[in-house]
Amino acid sequence: MNEIWTEKFRPKNLSEIVGQKENIEKLKGFVRAKDVPHLIFSGPAGTGKTTAAMALAIELYGEAWKENFLELNASNNRGINVIRGHEDREGKDTGLVSVKDYARLKPSNDLGFKLIFLDEADQLTGDAQAALRRTMEVYSSSTRFILSCNYSSQIIPPIQSRCVIMRFRSLEESAIKDRIRQISGQEKLALSNEIVDAIAEVAEGDMRKAINVLQTMASSGDITEKRVYEMFGYSSSEEFASLVSAALEHGLFDEAREKLDELMIKMGVSGIDILRGMHSVVRRHRMPGKEKLEVIIALAEAEYRIVEGGSDNIQLDALLARLVKIGSEFS
């Protein structure tokens, strides 16, 4: 792949970002005011946190945005040195650009401040976050910080109190589908509605994941619904639906067990992925409310036992037996 599509099709301004309307309106307000507070972008991967930070810089600084925007990934260097300076524990220069060194530089723009975007900030150690808090305090007149994280609770309270926290939610399937259709049109790819639906399903609210799936299929030339599921070790929703139906609606334990064996042995789908596929089917399936509650509780208990070290085979067999029982009680 000559070019990564997640970069190629990254929105260049705030208005192009989808699924985060409330946050984008706040950022546009900062652009109009030509001032930005310290920010925390919190939320799942692939929801537009990095894109929003870059788009904010582009709208603030125009063509000179790269000279006024520093992006660092805290997971590359979790320690205090990424904040304070270049030297490691032995006093050797690591060659890294430190937050403190960049923050103390005089801004080269008319706004009077530059931006530091610290991705995966929740991966910083406690000492590093304490050092960051002090740096934010000392250089707040010339530098604004944007901290990106999955969980804002992992950021120490003194930093949280200095920031405006923006929570990015997982994208709705409709937003992902629209973006996939737009990209496929630009790349002259013919996608059926079934393929687009499958990409949106496996993406699970992650736009980056959806675009990577599309690019991989385009590069291989194998653009099919089945290929989408195979790439992530998933089975199609129809296979999960037939598994649930055999046990819950028809009471056919042995038939359901055969379908389960096919998923696990022939297709190599893990027990957890089977549970997630079944859960997705059950949530969309029309059934009496009390019956759906019993089924979801059964799925949750099976997942818990597997995560705690239980055997996939035994726990999934027990789940199918329980679904047969639930189905018989509500028939």
Question: Token match 């604004």: residue?
Answer: 144
- Contact between 172 and 47 (Cβ < 8 Å): no
CA–CA separation, 124 vs 49, rounded Å?
Answer: 18
pLDDT-derived band of residue 88, with 50, 70 and 90 as boundaries?
A: very low
Distances (CA, A) of 34 to 23, 53, 56, 162, 314: 17, 15, 11, 19, 60
For the chain, give the mean pLDDT: 86
Q: What is the pLDDT of residue 307?
A: 92
pTM of the predicted structure, to 2 decimals: 0.75
Q: Helices 253-261 and 312-330 meet at what angle, rounded to 10? A: 150
Contact at 8 Å (CB) between 155 and 164? no
pLDDT band at 234 (very low <50, low <70, confident <90, very high): low
Burial class of residue 235 in the structure, from the number of CB atoms within 10 Å of its CB (0-12 exposed, 13-18 middle, 19+ buried): buried
**Those residues with Cβ within 8 angstroms of residue 226's Cβ, 6 or more apart along the chain or in another chain:** 236
**Domain range 5-167, CATH class:** alpha beta
The pair phi, psi for residue 47, each rounded to 5°, is -105, 0
- The dihedral region occupied by 120, where left means phi > 0, alpha psi between -120 and 50, and beta the remainder, is left
- Token pair for residue 308? 């705690």
Q: How confident is the model at residue 108 (pLDDT cuts 50, 70, 90)?
A: confident
What kind of fold does domain 237-330 have according to CATH?
Zinc Finger, Delta Prime; domain 3 (1.20.272)
% of the chain beyond a pLDDT of 90: 46
The amino acid that residue 237 corresponds to is S
pLDDT, tens digit (0-9, with 9 covering 90-100), for 174-231: 999 999 999 999 989 888 898 998 888 888 889 999 999 899 888 888 788 878 877 7
The domain ranges of the chain are: 5-167, 173-231, 237-330
Residue 37 has pLDDT above 90, yes or no: yes
Neighbours of 157 (CB within 10 A): 9
**76-82, long-range: CB < 8 A, 24+ apart:** 78/123, 78/124, 78/125, 78/128, 79/125, 79/127, 79/128, 80/125, 80/127, 80/128, 80/131, 82/124, 82/128
CATH topology of domain 173-231: Helicase, Ruva Protein; domain 3 (1.10.8)
**What local confidence, expressed as pLDDT, does residue 84 receive?**
54
Flag whether pLDDT at 303 surpasses 90.
yes
Whether residue 98 is predicted with pLDDT greater than 80 in this model: the reply is: no
- Asked if residues 36 and 83 have their Cβ atoms less than 8 Å apart, the reply is no
pLDDT digits (tens, 9 = 90+) for 39-79: 999 999 999 999 999 999 999 999 999 999 998 876 655 54
Predicted pLDDT of residue 12 = 87
Cβ atoms of 39 and 49 within 8 Å: the answer is no
Identify the pLDDT of residue 87: 44
Q: Is the sign of the CA dihedral 177, 276, 5, 226 positive or negative?
A: negative
Q: Residues near 13 by Cβ (< 8 Å), separated by ≥ 6?
A: 55, 58, 59
123, burial (CB in 10 Å: exposed 0-12, middle 13-18, buried 19+) = middle
Question: Which whole number is the average pLDDT over 3-17?
Answer: 87
pLDDT at site 165: 95
